[in-house]
Each structure stands twice: as structure tokens, then as C-alpha cells.
Structure 1
Amino acid sequence: MPQTPTDQPPTELTPAQLEAYFAFTEVSSLLRHAVEKQLRDAGDLSYVQFQLLARLGDAPGGWRRMTDLADGVVYSRSGLTYQAQLLEQRGLVTRSPSPDDERSTVVALTDEGRAVLATVFPGHIDALRRLLFSTLSSDDVDDLARILGGAASHLRANPPRSAAPRRRAPRA
């Protein structure tokens, strides 16, 4: 009777699991390298800076609380604060105290930030299509989204500190 992945001892992976893992890490590394180069060349942005700007661009009103941004980006909170500071120095975002809670910081996308996003997005989309999606059918893309979405949900159930939602103290 063949063993299923859950029947494996915890210290072993099946050959298929190893192959999938190595393929995933190789694709991830190669794609990340190409995307980071495109972002640097087109907009002088790091990958994390792009993630911040893109999340702000998708947010209603173009702003979010810093803690909400940190919860969505797997990056240390102090590192994310530093990246937001660099973006603010370039005039791509503004940071200010939250009107609802003075302990929170609100980050907002500026017109200059929107212009940088408009500059980098065409090349970013082209790179993704050319490097990742050009070899996949629509069904493959659906499967990939489903599989990676399930893996992401599983990993977020016990996230690293940088990806864990911050617990808020009850208000007095």
C-alpha cells in the first residue's frame, strides 16, 4: 500500500515533496531577483517599498495604518518603518498620527507615489507575464493560486512575528 504524505515520518519527505519544494524555491528566487531588478530599474524601489506603495494604491483613500501594512507584509516592523521613512523622504508617502488613535501612524500615498506606481506597473506586469505566467494555462494559474493560497493560509495560522497581526490592548 503506497504511503500518503501524512503517513510519512516527520523527518522525511517524499521524492515528489522534495521536487516540489526545490522547484518552488528556485522559481521564487529567480522570479524575485528579476522583479527586484525591474523595480529598481524602473522606479528605484526595493521589493518591500513596492509592496507598501501597491498596498496603499489598492487601499480605499490611498492610506492605511502602519500596523495594518505591517500585518500584510512579511517584514520586521522596524524594517517596515525604515522603508516607509525612505519613501517619505522621496515624497512618495506621508506619515502622520492616526485621527482615531494617536498611538497609530497612518501612511498615505502621495501623487508622486502614484506616479512611481504608474511608471513601474507596466514593466512589473510584463515581467510577471513573461517569466511566470507565459508557460501556464488558465487552469494552471487557477491551480497555482489555489495551492499557494492554501499554503499561505496554513502558514499565516502560525506566522512569524513580522506577519502576525498586532494584538491591541483594550481601551480603558
Structure 2
Amino acid sequence: MSEPRWLDDLEMAAWTSFVEAGHRVDRALERQLKDEAGLSHPQYEILVHLADAPDGELRMAELADRLITSKSGITYQVAQLEKLGLVRRRACPEQARGVYAVLTDEGSARLRGAAPAHVARVREVLIDVLDRDQLAVLAEALGVVGRRLRAHDRA
């Protein structure tokens, strides 16, 4: 077995900055959504994906894939949204075990109400902190990482 390639100072700085910033941004967004919209960040993202989907619905497996979570995780979150009347489930006629998550009118209204404050918080904690060049570097760098991991997940 070969010796591990330990991180040098620059690599360690990049890694620890990424981890800390990711956690802090996530915490800030989670808090804002809970306080102002009564939603968790995953629940908000579910509403966003459903709102963007044709007819406001997606198969649960597709929703889990888009949110990069497990099927059980998406089932739990959709159940919580269902209790709030923001999403409903319906059987998939093409596949006996398939289930769609469907955005309700109340879910659409909650999303419209939550979105402006959420976007303002995203700007406050991330977007407006960086200049355009930094945003371009961040988008490119994280895009490379995301595409590589997505390809690996599909392999």
C-alpha cells in the first residue's frame, strides 16, 4: 500500500475553507427558511424542483436524484410537506411501484412567499460577498467537481 498524498498548505486551506463556508452557508439558509417560511432547506429545494417541473410533479426517484439524497430521505421530506398540505403524492400509472410528488396550490403559494427572502439571504451570505471574477472561478471550480462526481455516480 502506498503512502497517502497528504494535503499541502494551500490544499488544506482550500479544503477547510470549503467545509467551513459550506456549513456556515447551509446553517444560515436553514435558519432563515425555518424562521421565515417554516421550511427546512431540503423542503424548500423540493418545492423549487417541483415548481420547475412540467405540471409541478416529479417521480420520487427523480426528485431524490435531483436533490442528491436517498429515496428514504426524500420520502421523509415529502411526507412532512404532505402534512403541511404543500405536496401530495399520486401513483405512477406507468409503473406499479412508482410515485409522483405533486406541488399543491398551497405549496406553490408558500414557495412564492418564501423565495424573495431566501434569495436575499443567499445574496447576503454568498453571492454579494464575492466579486464577479470570484463568482466565475467558484462556479467553474465547483462545476468541475460536481460534473466529475456526477459521472462517477453514474458509472
State the partner residue of 2:39. 45
Cα drift, residue 69 of structure 1: 0.4
Mark the runs of 5 or more structure 2 residues left unpaired by the alignment: none
State the partner residue of 1:170. none
Question: Residues 131-170 of structure 1: CA distance to partner in whole angstroms, max 9, x if unpaired?
Answer: 11112122221221111111111222334xxxx69xxxxx
TM-score (norm 1): 0.83
State the partner residue of 1:127. 121
* Distance across 1 between alignment mates of 2:5 and 2:138: 26
Identity of aligned residues (%): 38
Question: Residues 6-34 of structure 1: CA distance to partner in whole angstroms, max 9, x if unpaired?
Answer: xxx64311211110011111111111011
Higher relative contact order (CA 8 A, sep 6+): 1
Q: Secondary structure at the match of 2:120?
A: helix
* Distance across 1 between alignment mates of 2:89 and 2:25: 31
Mark the runs of 5 or more structure 1 residues left unpaired by the alignment: 1-8, 166-172
* Distance across 1 between alignment mates of 2:33 and 2:39: 5
Q: 2:62 aligns with which of 68, 81, 86?
A: 68
Task: Say if 2:147 is the partner of 1:153.
Answer: yes
* Distance across 1 between alignment mates of 2:121 and 2:69: 23
State the partner residue of 2:7. 13
* Distance across 2 between alignment mates of 1:141 and 1:99: 43
* Distance across 1 between alignment mates of 2:74 and 2:102: 14
* Distance across 1 between alignment mates of 2:137 and 2:5: 28
* Distance across 1 between alignment mates of 2:31 and 2:136: 27
